[in-house]
Amino acid sequence: MTFANWCIALAVLLPIGWSMLSKAQPSYNNRQPRAYEEALTGWRQRAHWAHLNSIESFAPFAAAVLVAQQAEGVQGMIDLLAGIFIAFRLLYGACYLADLGALRTLVYSLGLGCVLGLFVVAAGWF
């Protein structure tokens, strides 16, 4: 299994981590999790939003890695872009928790650049 494939596995776990942060308090109601999430405020609310965005970003990333590998792109470049993407996703969540909107947008854009870069590798342009 390649490093990039391990990065896909990590990307599966990222939403769970952000969700655990948002719910780690005694008042968490597992019988009505959606109502609980709607009532969140502050950093817990932002952790929930990071959870949702991590789910949204997973499919394009996983598809890009798999397409690049299927096209027999340069594996070293695929691994590098996948690793950088994961680093940006961790930083993205940290920016969300810290309420750093402008930096969060920049980090998101850089992560998206990694996904696009994976498609460039798949196209053989690198």
CB count within 10 Å of CB 5 equals 16
**Phi, psi values for residue 25, rounded to 5°:** -160, 155
pLDDT of residue 26: 87
pLDDT of residue 109: 98
Residue 126 has pLDDT above 80, yes or no: no
Distance CA 117, CA 111 (A): 10
Distance CA 54, CA 45 (A): 14
Question: How do residues 21-80 score in pLDDT, each as one tens digit?
Answer: 999 988 898 999 999 999 999 999 999 999 999 999 999 999 999 999 999 989 999 999
Range 5-33 average pLDDT? 95
Q: Structure tokens of 51?
A: 């959870």
**pLDDT range class, residue 6, cuts 50, 70, 90:** very high
